């Protein structure tokens, strides 16, 4: 019996290999297929706790697909097309061991702008998203969004064209007090999640780029609402002009929830044409072997991001900074409980390592026309508020900041030595809660037009 089973399996595999569609093959008989049901949702409902095959073809829906059963999931080469911009495409909630593999998730032409996610998972455990193609889900939210999920994996997925024209409304915050037109959207977003792996994904924006034409067409950066009182951390010039140049919002990958998110791995991802490449508000993070190409900021860690390991990444064509660490407004020291309340643990930034990264082509990105040459490949910030504890104890070693212009660039077809497109290779902000305990060693840092750093760098 065993020999007969093995022989049958080998014959089955040989046929698939010859056809060149091994990954898209029809499942074995024990796995149900949506082909036997009126809809994908009916197949999910009729087969709780099972993986369901989605054959090649287009499957239009107008309501989100709901997955609630442990160990359930969908796989196959099918393309699921959402026609309703008021609905996500797939929602997974409260389930363990769900898998989605090989599918394409997209929206119908003319209704690609949305406020909803392509895929949202809430309070899930050991979720696996693998080899998905999430296309043209243009949202101010996250195209792929996970909330309060633990032990999940997002591997080998393509997220393309995830941004839209939107309004960033900060009027509810006393820190800001205004709303403005912007480009917004996030490719992969994790909130309040732990033990997550984000590996080998490609997050690419090709639809909305920060060009002068786009800025003029949509009045990007212009205030559309303004409180009576200026926000406490709002720049006076920004307030008076009712305009902010920070209108290219969102990030390719965001990990949010600095007092809840923890133990995240971001490994070997490719990011192109983002606003921010990687935006971190979390602890115990590994950021390694990623390529961030043509984002105005390569990555930042703030709002109480502690023990961040940034090692062996490529940052290219950034404009504001490639690697930035900063205490944000949410950073705070530990405090005892008040009136019988629960004590508050510290939420501080630091205890991190930045090592063996290469920063090249700085200042050659799309957003240079907005920011000029005032950026810095490395930037270490003071706290946004006086009460924010300082960024403390960071090792910066073995990194390269490479001034591309020294090798000559082509100007009107002719080689020309170009001055650096940054003032300093490193900027360290001062002040009472400025960074403390920065340790530099064995770096190659090509100086900017004003020098190596705005302060003396000490080993």
Digit-coded pLDDT (tens) for 333-364 = 998 876 667 888 899 999 999 999 999 999 99
pLDDT at 1 over 60: no
Kindly state the percentage of the chain with pLDDT values over 70.
Answer: 93
Per-residue pLDDT tens over the stretch 255-292: 999 899 999 999 999 999 999 999 999 999 999 999 99
The whole-angstrom separation of Cα 349 and Cα 305 is 5
What number of H helices and E strands is found in the chain?
A: 5, 43
- Select the more confidently predicted residue: 2 or 323: 323
pLDDT at 10 over 80: no
pLDDT at 104 over 60: yes
pLDDT at 15 over 70: no
φ, ψ (nearest 5 deg) of residue 34: -70, -15
State the CB neighbour count (10 A cutoff) for residue 101. 19
pLDDT at 14 over 80: no
Helix (H, G, I), strand (E, B) or coil at 207: coil
pLDDT at 445 over 70: yes
Residue with tokens 């089955």: 12
pLDDT at 24 over 60: no
Looking at residue 77, what DSSP letter applies? S
The predicted structure's pLDDT at residue 26: 52
The predicted structure's pLDDT at residue 457: 87
The whole-angstrom separation of Cα 275 and Cα 168 is 14
Kindly state the percentage of the chain with pLDDT values over 90.
Answer: 83
CA-closest candidate to residue 429, choices 398, 399, 455: 455
The predicted structure's pLDDT at residue 30: 67
Contact indicator for 82, 110 with CB cutoff of 8 Å? no
Contact indicator for 116, 91 with CB cutoff of 8 Å? no
CB-based contacts of 317: which residues, under 8 Å, 6+ apart? 293, 294, 295, 361, 362, 364, 365, 366
User: 19 pLDDT band (50/70/90 cuts)?
Assistant: very low
The predicted structure's pLDDT at residue 360: 98
* CB-based burial, 9-27: b 16+ in 10 Å, e otherwise: eeeeeeeeeeeeeeebbee
CA-closest candidate to residue 61, choices 113, 98, 111: 111
Sketch the domain layout of the chain as residue ranges: 1-28, 68-453
The predicted structure's pLDDT at residue 5: 35
Question: Which CATH number is correct for 68-453, 2.160.20, 2.30.30, 3.30.1710, 3.30.70?
Answer: 2.160.20
Mean pLDDT for 128-147 is 97
The predicted structure's pLDDT at residue 55: 98
**In 253-339, which ranges are continuous DSSP H helix?**
none
pLDDT at 140 over 90: no
State the CB neighbour count (10 A cutoff) for residue 40. 18
Per-residue pLDDT tens over the stretch 373-389: 999 999 999 998 899 99
φ, ψ (nearest 5 deg) of residue 8: -60, -40
The predicted structure's pLDDT at residue 339: 66
The predicted structure's pLDDT at residue 338: 66
Per-residue pLDDT tens over the stretch 215-224: 999 999 999 9
The predicted structure's pLDDT at residue 414: 84
User: 18 pLDDT band (50/70/90 cuts)?
Assistant: very low
The pTM assigned to this predicted structure is 0.91
pLDDT at 153 over 70: yes
The whole-angstrom separation of Cα 440 and Cα 453 is 12
Per-residue pLDDT tens over the stretch 365-375: 999 999 999 99
Q: What angle do CA 383, 386, 390 make, to 5 degrees?
A: 40
The HSE-up count of residue 118 (CA atoms within 13 Å, CB side) is 35
Per-residue pLDDT tens over the stretch 49-81: 999 999 999 999 999 999 999 999 999 999 999
Cβ burial, residue 415 (10 Å; 0-12/13-18/19+): exposed
Contact indicator for 378, 394 with CB cutoff of 8 Å? no
pLDDT at 22 over 70: no
């Amino acid at each position: 019996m065993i020999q007969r089973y093995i022989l049958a399996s080998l014959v089955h595999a040989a046929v698939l290999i010859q056809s060149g569609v091994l990954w898209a093959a029809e499942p074995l008989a024990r796995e149900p297929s949506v082909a036997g049901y009126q809809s994908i949702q009916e197949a999910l409902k009729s087969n709780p706790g099972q993986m369901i095959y989605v054959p090649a073809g287009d499957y239009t829906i107008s309501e989100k697909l709901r997955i609630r059963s442990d160990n359930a999931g969908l796989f196959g080469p099918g393309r699921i097309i959402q026609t309703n911009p008021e609905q996500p495409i797939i929602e997974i909630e409260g389930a363990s061991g769900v898998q989605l593999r090989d599918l394409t998730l997209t929206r119908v032409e003319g209704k690609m702008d949305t406020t909803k996610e392509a895929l949202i998972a809430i309070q899930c455990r050991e979720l696996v998203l693998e080899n998905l193609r999430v296309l043209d889900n243009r949202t101010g939210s996250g195209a792929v969004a996970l909330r309060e999920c633990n032990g999940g994996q997002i591997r080998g997925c393509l997220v393309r064209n995830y941004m839209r024209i939107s309004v960033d409304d900060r009027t509810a915050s006393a820190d800001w007090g205004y709303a403005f037109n912007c480009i917004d959207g996030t490719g992969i977003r994790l909130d309040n999640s732990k033990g997550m792996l984000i590996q080998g994904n490609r997050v690419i924006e090709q639809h909305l780029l920060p060009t002068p034409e786009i800025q003029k067409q949509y009045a990007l950066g212009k205030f559309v609402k303004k409180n009576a009182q200026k926000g406490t951390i709002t720049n006076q010039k920004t307030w008076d002009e009712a305009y902010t140049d920070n209108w290219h919002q969102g990030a390719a990958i965001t990990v949010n929830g600095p007092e809840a998110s923890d133990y995240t791995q971001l490994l070997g991802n490719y990011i192109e044409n983002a606003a921010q490449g990687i935006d971190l508000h979390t602890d115990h993070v590994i950021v390694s072997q990623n390529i961030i190409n043509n984002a105005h900021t390569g990555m930042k860690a703030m709002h109480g991001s502690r023990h961040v390991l940034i090692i062996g990444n490529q940052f290219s064509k950034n404009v504001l900074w490639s690697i930035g660490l900063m205490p944000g407004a949410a950073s705070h020291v530990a405090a005892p409980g008040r009136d019988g309340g629960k004590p508050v643990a510290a939420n501080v930034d630091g205890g991190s390592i930045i090592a063996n990264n290469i920063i090249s082509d700085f200042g050659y990105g799309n957003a240079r026309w907005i920011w000029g040459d005032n950026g810095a490949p490395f930037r270490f910030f003071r706290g946004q508020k006086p009460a924010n504890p300082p960024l403390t104890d960071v090792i910066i070693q073995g990194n390269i900041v490479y001034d591309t212009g020294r090798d000559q660039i082509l100007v009107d077809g002719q080689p020309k030595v170009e001055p650096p497109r940054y003032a300093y290779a490193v900027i360290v902000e001062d002040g009472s809660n400025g960074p403390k305990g920065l340790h530099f060693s064995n770096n190659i840092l090509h100086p900017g037009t004003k020098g190596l750093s705005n302060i003396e760098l000490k080993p």
